[in-house]
Amino acid sequence: MTGRYVALGSSMAAGPGIAPRDKDAPWQAGRSAANYPHLVAQRLGLDLVDLTYSGATTANVITDRQHGSPPQIEALDGSEVLVTITIGGNDVGYVPMLMAASLPHAVRSVPMLGGVLTDLLDPTARDRALVQVGESLKTVGRTVRQRAPLARVLFVDYLTLLPPAGEEAPPLSGRDAALGRRIADTLERLTGEAAEETGCGWVRAAEASRAHHAWSADPWTTRFSLFGLLRRDRPKPLHPNAAGMRAVADLVIGQAKSPHTARRS
């Protein structure tokens, strides 16, 4: 397989804190040179254009600049053979919600943070965001297919962070963990629906990593840690670790090499 590969997405694809850092990336992107796009490109011999950026939303993929960087989709020129998309979590506040729920109650009561944290932990607010992201994901899929008509386009959903219902995930309360699972499950479903409706492939990283959640014996993601938030030389809390990135790369490569069955839009 040869040609141009463009990777679009948020921190779940960028891999903040996984060494080594991508020295060509903006500092704010938190982009690793060992994230799944880099691993896929190396193993398949593709020319990588990695636009993944921590904090990115669907709007940053298709319309909005981020810290001075243009919308990610502008990198597509129609010559691509592969495009991967990992996006949507920031639209619904998935990881921010888990981080807010993991903070000590003393921090949650700080006046400047209280309102923001309360909104993140509000199930109704999260449900409204999930309704909106479903259509946004479809817009991303349609727009990418139009800009890269020759490419295999793959939605890559998020690695599983939380243990299954009935298992504890300290410091999260049972209620907050349940909300996190509901957000993750809905985002996974919406990603699959967007892939199906727009004729893209779906790399099911969430499904493949159920037994490798952050509290497991063989985690592909990291737990929350206040200390970890301050470290730049370790994988960011509630994000993929190096093992997780290798696992996702394997999944992407397997699907990229499989017969192309997705319909053309």
pLDDT score recorded for residue 264: 42
Residues 159, 236: contact at Cβ < 8 Å?
no
- Summarised one tens digit per residue, pLDDT across range 104-137 is 776 666 655 656 777 888 999 999 999 999 999 9
Stated pTM of the model: 0.92
pLDDT score recorded for residue 2: 82
Residues 167, 213: contact at Cβ < 8 Å?
no
pLDDT score recorded for residue 262: 46
Residues 125, 119: contact at Cβ < 8 Å?
yes
- Summarised one tens digit per residue, pLDDT across range 26-77 is 999 999 999 999 999 999 999 999 999 999 999 999 999 999 999 999 999 9
